């Protein structure tokens, strides 16, 4: 029975962020089709931030109407929305409508909002449900949550990407014929529609696991109302979630709160300010600033470079979080230096985006390798910092975690809102064409 519950807990965790992670790794194929083109990621970052209205409503319900919210019903609802949205995405992701005289991916954006609503709301509903089970299953749930980023990345690598080739194209105007080079993309190993059906299947697996967990006999149950604010502090991996504290029952939790923290774990006001600045900056960089311009930093090197950057970054996040579970370094000096290192990689990525469509080492294998590795290390280093900061604040106090969640969301929002006008209104970043862009040698 214990093994079955572990499997179900892992499968349930898969549904937490699989849809949004899947969307990000599929972007290298989508941007070549939808009218927004290279600007598409900047739209997605804002849409995902708007979807935080979901966890906000859940938190308000617990505050204003304690005991009235049926969390099991909410989980059933959001998982159902997730399944339906993935299926709709498979059929309508290419559909466009004319808005303000230009074609836009209206259907894609609306469905993406509902998928984001599902994943964001899972942060304040899935873990409280898991806290009704014995504590040993929480770690398994987090493994499943990590796999929600790992598996789509691996599937995207298996899918491959349409290799670009240049073909001569002609247009005839009366007696005149114009010849031009056009970029043509070869088909991947399987289509985007199949990938979205795969995401729908993953959501179905998560829902089936949730149904099965509800039918299992309970060893004990805990009130989930007090866990909502804690789970709101989850960043994205879930491993730095305060609900992951698996010390045991309510008695141990209250005893842990009453104990005075060791001197080594006490932090001054200036140290706490530094920690919260790390939270704001890291989340702003990884959830807003850099994702908005990933197309501009990678696409000049080719579709394959963008594909590998997106897929391997998705894999790097759960890997870094797993490393943080076993090798924890809480030194603020170390975390500060690691943040500087990750920021350095991010700075290189941003510089290449600003130089688009003619970044450094364009047209060379070295340039492709460097940009892919830079994105990989950028995501990996800052993901580790996210988790360790969450661990530090989890051991500090409950209110520290609440402020951690607020700082994380503020950083993500500021990063997204900063980049959106720069990309879409002021057009500070320039897209290119694989076959027609002429760069100085």
Distance CA 394, CA 385 (A): 14
According to DSSP, residue 428 is labeled: -
CA distance 258 to 249: 15
Q: What is the pLDDT of residue 232?
A: 39
Domain segments of the chain as ranges: 2-424
Higher pLDDT, 364 or 222: 364
Least confident of 88-92, 107-111, 177-181, 366-370: 177-181
Query: Do the beta carbons of residue 292 and residue 41 sit within 8 Å?
Result: yes
SS3 for 67?
coil
Band the pLDDT of 90: cuts 50, 70, 90: very high
In whole angstroms, what is the distance from residue 403 CA to residue 212 CA? 35
Which structure tokens are listed for 345? Answer: 């990689």
> Phi then psi for 434, rounded to 5 degrees?
-55, -35
Residues 6+ apart with CB under 8 A from 390: 233, 235, 239, 240, 241, 242, 401, 404
Please tell me the predicted confidence (pLDDT) of residue 398: 67
DSSP-derived secondary structure for 170-215: EEEETTEEEEEEEEEE---SS-HHHHHHHHHHHHHHHHHHHHHHHH
Closest residue by Cα to residue 400 from 275, 249, 261, 238 = 275
- Max Cα–Cα distance, the chain, nearest Å: 88
> At which residue do the structure tokens 């409503």 appear?
57
pLDDT at position 287? 93
Please give the C-alpha separations between residue 119 and each of 15, 17, 55, 226, 274, in angstroms, as whole numbers: 8, 5, 10, 21, 29
CA distance 88 to 1: 36
Given a cut of 50, is residue 221 above it in pLDDT?
Answer: no
Average pLDDT over residues 189-217: 94
Report d(CA 360, CA 383) in Å as an integer: 26
Confidence band of 265 (pLDDT split at 50, 70, 90): low
Mean pLDDT of the chain: 85
Per DSSP, the three-state class of 123 is coil
pLDDT confidence band for 239 (50 / 70 / 90): very low
Answer yes or no: CATH 3.30.365.10 is held by domain 2-424.
no
Higher pLDDT, 363 or 174: 363
Degrees, nearest 5: CA angle 271-272-277: 100
Separation of alpha carbons 421 and 427, rounded Å: 8
DSSP 260: P
- pLDDT level of residue 242 (50, 70, 90 thresholds): very low
Fill in the DSSP letter of residue 397. -
8 A C-beta contact, residue 312 and residue 375: yes
More confident call, 287 vs 184: 287
Confidence of residue 201 (pLDDT cuts 50, 70, 90): very high
Distance CA 29, CA 185 (A): 9
Spatial neighbors of 15 by CB under 8 A, at least 6 apart, are 79, 82, 122, 126, 148, 202, 203, 205, 206, 207, 209, 210
pLDDT at residue number 417: 95
218 vs 285 pLDDT, higher one: 285
**Weakest mean pLDDT among 59-63, 116-120, 220-224:** 220-224
State the Cα torsion 19-23-25-29 to the nearest 10°.
Answer: 150
Binned at pLDDT 50, 70 and 90, residue 218 comes out as: low
End-to-end CA distance of the chain: 65
């Amino acid at each position: 029975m214990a093994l079955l519950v572990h499997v179900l807990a892992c499968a349930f965790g898969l549904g937490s962020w699989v849809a949004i992670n899947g969307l990000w790794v599929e972007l290298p194929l989508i941007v070549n089709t939808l009218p927004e083109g290279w600007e598409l990621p900047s739209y997605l970052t804002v849409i995902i931030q708007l979807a935080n209205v979901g966890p906000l409503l859940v938190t308000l319900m617990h505050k204003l109407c304690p005991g009235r919210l049926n969390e099991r019903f909410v989980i059933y609802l959001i998982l159902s929305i997730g399944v339906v949205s993935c299926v709709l995405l498979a059929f309508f992701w290419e559909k466009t409508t004319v808005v303000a005289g230009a074609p836009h991916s209206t259907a894609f954006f609306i469905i993406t909002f509902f998928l984001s609503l599902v994943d964001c709301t899972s942060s304040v509903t899935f873990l409280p449900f898991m806290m009704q089970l014995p504590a040993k299953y929480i770690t398994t749930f987090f493994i499943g949550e990590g796999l929600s980023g790992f598996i789509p990345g691996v599937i995207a690598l298996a899918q491959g990407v349409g290799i670009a080739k240049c073909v001569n194209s002609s247009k005839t105007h009366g007696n005149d014929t114009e010849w031009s080079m056009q970029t043509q993309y070869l088909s991947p190993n399987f289509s985007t529609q199949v990938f979205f059906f795969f995401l729908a299947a993953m959501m179905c697996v998560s829902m089936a696991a949730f149904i099965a967990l509800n039918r299992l006999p309970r060893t004990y149950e805990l009130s989930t109302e007090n866990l909502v604010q804690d789970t709101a502090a989850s960043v994205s991996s879930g491993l730095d979630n305060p609900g992951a504290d698996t010390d045991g029952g309510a008695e141990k939790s209250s005893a842990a709160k009453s104990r005075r923290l060791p001197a080594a774990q006490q932090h001054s006001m200036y140290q706490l300010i530094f920690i919260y600045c790390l939270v704001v900056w890291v989340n702003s960089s990884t959830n807003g600033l850099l994702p908005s311009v990933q197309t501009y930093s990678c696409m000049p090197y080719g579709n394959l470079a963008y594909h590998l950057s997106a897929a391997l970054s998705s894999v790097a996040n759960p890997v870094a979080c797993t490393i943080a579970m076993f090798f924890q370094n809480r030194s603020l000096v170390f975390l500060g230096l690691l943040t500087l290192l990750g920021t350095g990689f991010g700075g290189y990525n941003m510089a290449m985006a600003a130089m688009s469509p003619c970044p450094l080492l364009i047209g060379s294998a070295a340039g492709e390798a460097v940009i892919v590795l830079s994105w990989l290390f950028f995501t990996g280093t800052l993901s580790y910092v996210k988790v360790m900061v969450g661990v530090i604040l989890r051991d500090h106090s409950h209110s520290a975690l609440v402020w951690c969640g607020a700082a994380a969301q503020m950083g993500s929002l500021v990063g997204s809102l900063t980049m959106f006008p720069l990309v879409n209104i002021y057009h500070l970043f320039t897209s290119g064409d694989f076959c027609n862009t002429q760069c100085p040698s």
